[in-house]
Amino acid sequence: MNIKTEQEIISDVLAGDTNAYHILVSRYRNMIFTLVNNIILNREDAEEIAQDVFIKAYTGLRTFKGSALFSTWLYRIAVNAALNKKKIKVFNVIPIGESFENETDDNIQPLLDQYEIKERKKFVQLAMLQLKDDERICITMYYLNELQVSEIHDLTGISTANIKVLLYRGRKNLYRQLEQLLKTEMNNLI
């Protein structure tokens, strides 16, 4: 099986094979959605923005010079789109509850496991909300999207030294926020 490089796929798209663009969308849709969602903190809007990012990238594909990676170019479009949307709208976090009604004992354990994972994610997301935007963006790009510091620099324009500081402070603040949220949760249970 011959796996095409991104440049070959882009060449195919520019030559008129619009179906080839689906390969790029498949490669990057989860990373783009995660990045956007962690910037604007609203799932529905993140899905809409992620779609817009791929449309903007498709329509602007002729402007892609190849001097940077396609993923870097795409991330820059995503960051700009998310930050522009965030300036326009303020979002509220709505917790999603789980219902265990009408479940048998055999089915309850997998549901409890899922609930525990969702609860952990909820606390991490709530703690992420308390971070400054630049810390949250750097943490998202570095840990969730697994970008290198140099790639984050290319996307954001923040110096590599400042990115390292933001990652350090962000981790400390995230830990502090998680600790406080969990203490509050424990006190509410008692």
Q: What are phi and psi of 49, to 5 degrees?
A: -65, -40
Instruction: Judge whether residue 103 has pLDDT over 80.
Output: no
Fold of 6-88: Rna Polymerase Sigma Factor; Chain: A (1.10.1740)
| d(C-alpha 190, C-alpha 115), whole Å | 20
10: nearest Cα among 1, 21, 19, 2: 21
Token code pair at residue 154: 């290319």
The reported pLDDT for the residue numbered 167 is 93
Q: Which tens digits make up the pLDDT trace of 14-59? A: 898 888 899 999 999 998 998 888 888 888 999 999 999 999 999 9
Q: What is the pLDDT of residue 160?
A: 92
Q: pLDDT tens for residues 121-140? A: 777 778 888 888 889 888 88
Higher pLDDT, 163 or 66: 163
Instruction: Locate CATH 1.10.1740.10 in the chain.
Output: 6-88
Band (pLDDT 50/70/90 cuts) for residue 178 is: confident
CA distance 190 to 187: 5
CATH class of 105-189: mainly alpha
